[in-house]
Amino acid sequence: MPNEYDREILEWTKWIKSHPGDINFPAYSLRGLAYNNKGEYDKAIADYNTIITMLIPELAEAYINRGIAYNNKGEYDRAIADYCQAMIIDPKNSRAYKDRGLAYRNKGEYDKAIADYTMAISFDPRDAWAYNDRGDAFKFKGENDKAEADYRTAKELGYKNYTREVS
């Protein structure tokens, strides 16, 4: 039985096929998101490649989304390269910094992750996720006081998954 993502993939695939020649980057982007959520990262990357190479190469969001798929595959350096490209296109894109921070954190490069989360927070001081994720990086570094302060701020800003305890 098809799940939600299978249905989305089918719908967007039909739309893409029925609109040949259209600049239909939202369809590729949304299908790529469904592939990513389904764990089919190579297919997601292929859709984002289509956007980048054939439709709108200056769309920062396409690089960010492809970076997410690379990050999910464990290809952190490729993810970081995509986030950097998104930052060139849109230097104040807080999501690009936040997502690059996650890739750095996944690589164990906590200082770089903290710097990126801090930059994301400077662009969007109400981003609870950025505070939470920076708290994680501080925790992994053993800077528990800073981690706890960020977790508290994340919770105050409405972060719903606040389950962190620093020990």
Give the pair of three-digit tokens for residue 47: 């859709």
Q: How many CA atoms lie within 13 A of 69 on its CB side?
A: 25
Q: Quick check: 50 and 28 in contact, CB under 8 A?
A: yes
Contacts of 87 by beta carbon, 8 Å cutoff, 6+ apart: 60, 93, 96, 97, 100
The superfamily (CATH) of domain 1-91 is Tetratricopeptide repeat domain (1.25.40.10)
pTM, two decimals, is 0.90
Mind listing the pLDDT tens digit for each residue in 48-92? 999 999 888 899 999 999 999 999 999 999 999 999 999 999 999
Question: What letter represents residue 70's amino acid?
Answer: Y
* CATH class, range 97-167: mainly alpha
CA distances from 63 to 1, 35, 83 (A): 32, 16, 6
Residue extents of the structural domains in the chain: 1-91, 97-167
